[in-house]
Amino acid sequence: MSRLAHSTHTDPLATEVCPVCKSTKYMNPNLKFLVNPVCYHKMCESCVDRIFSHGPAPCPIKGCSETLRKNRFRRQTFEDIQVEREVDIRKKVAKVFNRREEEFDSLREYNDYLNEVEDITFNLVHKIDIENTERRFQKHEDDWREAIKENASLAQQEQMQYAEQQKAEREKARRRREEARREEIEERREAEATRKDMLRRLENGQDPEEVKKERAAVQLKKRLNKQEAADRQSQLQAADARNGSSSFVIKGLKNKKAKLEPEAPVDPFGGLTFEHRYFALQGDYVWEGLQEAKRDVLISAGGYDIASFTGRALCEAFSGLGVMVADEAVEREKLQEPEGLSTTRAEVAATDVKMEDPF
């Protein structure tokens, strides 16, 4: 038994077994599997024919109580049946929740809407709170029936437009290629003609230097003409793009003027400042010991910064000023009293926060 289980696990063909009639892809290479989007149980085509030809019937998979119809069976698109199911659900949700960004006044509203759509999709996919979710889904469908229809036809129009644009662009590209090919042939023909002309002139006894010079002048003129044509072409294309024949479309919110307040910069310390309350740190001090240390190469070579020493020394000197021993003693006594314990604790916590940074 364990060997059998093992073999079904390793052999990819063994997984292609119809759970109803047990025929395998190995025995019958033409075996085709179908699924029904009601319960997503997989079975072979002949089983579907046999069981569901005479109308709706219960799913033959053990433990499944769904009633299935033959016309709903279809080929599986994705190998993973969970993916197949999720894609179906997403399609179904997207058909009803098809509002567009242009319908919203602010990005916040649009994002809230998208969030709601994703919530519903997630619940349906993972079968969470199905009843409530179905109700929300139905409510949206009822409330927005007209808008849904409008947006659906709009989307269809856009798709058709897009397809047309694509076709036009392909046609344009084809014409450009043809043009380039034609030009190349023309060029080759002209080069051949020029060569023949030159030979003929040399035969007639013209000065070779003169002929060479003339040829160079003709070539230069041709090149300039070509460049001019290319410039004209690119100008035309730019004008086309300006007139909106380009496929690039910018979409956005309905009310584009509604500017949101810029968000305040993030304050990682929650308003805590590092300014010193009791002293100000100077850039330099006249104390001789400090000046000596500053001049001493042995000290400065190691990267020692005099400012870090003065800063720390001042901090240590003034630290005590933020601590009121008498107040603390009173608070400690209060803490020992059983009454109003929680409020006292809160007060102590508040003063603690203040004392954390006395400067």
> Which residues contribute to the site for Zn ion (CB under 5 A)?
18, 20-21, 39, 41, 44, 47, 59, 61, 64, 66
Can you count the helices (H) and strands (E) in the chain?
A: 12, 5
**Nearest distance in Å: CB 48, Zn ion:** 8
Nearer to Zn ion, 58 or 252 (CB): 58
| Cα(50)–Cα(94) distance, integer angstroms | 35
CA dihedral (134, 138, 140, 143) in degrees, to 10, reads -160
Nearer to Zn ion, 46 or 344 (CB): 46
Nearer to Zn ion, 51 or 211 (CB): 51
**Nearest distance in Å: CB 73, Zn ion:** 11
**Nearest distance in Å: CB 132, Zn ion:** 25
Residue/partner pairs of 314-321 with CB below 8 Å, 24 or more apart = 314/276, 314/279, 314/281, 315/276, 315/359, 317/279, 318/276, 318/278, 318/279, 318/358, 318/359, 319/358, 321/278, 321/358
| Cα(37)–Cα(237) distance, integer angstroms | 49
**Nearest distance in Å: CB 47, Zn ion:** 3
Nearer to Zn ion, 67 or 157 (CB): 67
Nearer to Zn ion, 18 or 120 (CB): 18
Nearer to Zn ion, 41 or 140 (CB): 41
Calculate Rg over the CA atoms of the chain. Answer: 41
Q: Give Cβ neighbours of residue 165 (< 8 Å, ≥ 6 apart).
A: 247
**Nearest distance in Å: CB 130, Zn ion:** 17
Q: Give Cβ neighbours of residue 64 (< 8 Å, ≥ 6 apart).
A: 39, 41, 58
Segment holding 33, helix H or strand E: strand 33-35
Residue pointed to by tokens 């400065």: 300
**Nearest distance in Å: CB 113, Zn ion:** 35
Nearer to Zn ion, 44 or 117 (CB): 44
Nearer to Zn ion, 66 or 305 (CB): 66
Bridge partners (DSSP) of residue 342 are none
**Nearest distance in Å: CB 13, Zn ion:** 15
| Cα(47)–Cα(29) distance, integer angstroms | 16
**Nearest distance in Å: CB 126, Zn ion:** 19
